[in-house]
């Protein structure tokens, strides 16, 4: 809803895609500093810059992930960054797990304002982190790349709403690595200002997916629906404007933060509402075999009969289970002429995003990707990371 979203800006730090930090609707631009820099704090509202010396062993040199350099040594789409004194050493899976459990004070970007489900996911992924809100997904990616934050936690798919296509596109556009995943149960609440009853409401605000997930409940209540950029932003708008005829669908934590009353809990139509988030970092972790791992890749293929079947067969032949496959148009070349000159037809070019249950430390996974690389026109490993088993 344009009216709702245009009138509100969070009083806490928000990173904007166009490079602004402000309390107000208009703000002066700022220059995102380039690394390496020291670690000053500009204001109480601005996230501190990355030090660059917080590596586990005090070293600044990158160690290459096992088996990955050889796999892509002749490919322009290397999954391991080249050695650079400006980059930290990648964490091993053991070090990564320890850093999370120790509750190190990482700065973690998420999309939304305080009280968003993404904030809860960031805090679940990195306990005791400094959660940094961003107004758009793009801004969260850029905040990690520009060393403003250490990590980003962003949604990639929902059990009811499906894939978040925007973040699939951003994974390819940016050079960040997936270092983990976290699954969060989504429990929607109907919120309103104190003294407002359900029968007083005429409309409800929330994110489009949240409204869709509560379709049956909201229809029974006879409420009109208006979309905002974020569930927590809807709650904030209702609270700050002291609306008496408007409610919000958001989390219980948003109700506490913005002083709203919970009129109804669990208003989603399906109780099995889970969102999967990706944990993103500048450098990959070194894959291991001591726990269940998942690997995410993206590739493209030539057009032809059975080509996709051939690509998926490289995993089936090695007993590797695929957990997700997603296709997205290849944006810089959406249409290609058919090789059959007599036909004259054109077809769409696609990228295929695939998740499979294996670690890149396993020989079968390395062999599968070597096999795929023989006929794929493009191949990139987005990350090999521990599986979130907390909800299994």
Active site residues: 275, 277
Residue 120 CA to residue 138 CA, distance in Å, equals 19
Q: Which residue in the block uniquely carries the two structure tokens 């990195």?
A: 126
Q: List for the chain the helix, strand, coil content (%; round to 5).
A: 25, 25, 50
Cis bond upstream, residue 69 (ω within 30): no
Name the token pair of 255: 């109700």
Any idea what the Cα angle at residue 243 is, between residues 240 and 246, rounded to 5°?
120
DSSP state of 15: B
Beta bridge partners of 187: none
Rounded Cα distance between 347 and 337, Å, is: 7
Question: How far apart, in Å, are the Cα atoms of 277 and each of 158, 221, 285, 311, 382?
Answer: 9, 31, 17, 26, 14
CA end-to-end distance (rounded Å), the chain: 36
């Amino acid at each position: 809803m344009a009216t709702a979203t245009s009138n509100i800006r969070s009083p806490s730090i928000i990173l904007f895609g166009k490079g602004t930090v402000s309390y107000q609707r208009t703000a002066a631009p700022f220059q995102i500093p380039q690394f390496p820099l020291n670690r000053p704090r500009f204001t109480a509202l601005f996230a501190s810059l990355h030090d660059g010396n917080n590596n586990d062993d005090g070293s600044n040199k990158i160690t290459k992930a096992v088996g990955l350099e050889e796999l892509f040594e002749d490919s322009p789409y290397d999954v391991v960054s080249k050695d650079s004194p400006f980059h930290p050493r990648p964490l091993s899976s053991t070090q990564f797990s320890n850093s999370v459990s120790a509750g190190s004070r990482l700065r973690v970007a998420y999309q939304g304002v305080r009280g968003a489900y993404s904030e809860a996911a960031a805090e679940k992924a990195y306990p005791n982190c400094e959660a940094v809100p961003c107004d758009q997904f793009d801004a969260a990616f850029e905040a990690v790349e520009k060393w403003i934050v250490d990590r980003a936690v962003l949604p990639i798919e929902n059990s009811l709403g499906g894939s978040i296509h925007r973040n699939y596109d951003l994974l390819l556009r940016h050079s960040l690595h997936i270092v983990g995943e976290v699954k969060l149960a989504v429990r929607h609440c109907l919120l309103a200002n104190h003294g407002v009853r359900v029968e007083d409401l005429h409309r409800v605000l929330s994110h489009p997916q949240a409204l869709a997930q509560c379709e049956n409940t909201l229809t029974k209540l006879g409420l009109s629906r208006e979309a905002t950029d974020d569930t927590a932003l809807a709650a904030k708008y209702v609270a700050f404007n002291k609306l008496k005829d408007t409610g919000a669908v958001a989390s219980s934590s948003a109700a506490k933060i913005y002083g709203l009353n919970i009129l109804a809990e669990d208003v989603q139509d399906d109780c099995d509402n889970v969102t999967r988030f990706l944990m993103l970092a500048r450098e990959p972790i070194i894959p291991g075999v001591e726990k269940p791992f998942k690997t995410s890749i993206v590739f493209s293929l030539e057009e032809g009969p059975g080509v996709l079947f051939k690509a998926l067969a490289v995993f089936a032949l090695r007993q590797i289970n695929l957990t997700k496959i997603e296709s997205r148009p290849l944006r810089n070349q959406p249409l290609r002429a058919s090789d059959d000159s007599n036909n004259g037809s054109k077809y769409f070019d696609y990228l295929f995003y695939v998740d499979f249950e294996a670690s890149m430390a396993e020989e079968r996974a390395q062999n599968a990707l070597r096999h795929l690389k023989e006929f794929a026109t493009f191949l990139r490993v987005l990350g090999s990371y521990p599986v979130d088993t907390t909800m299994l």
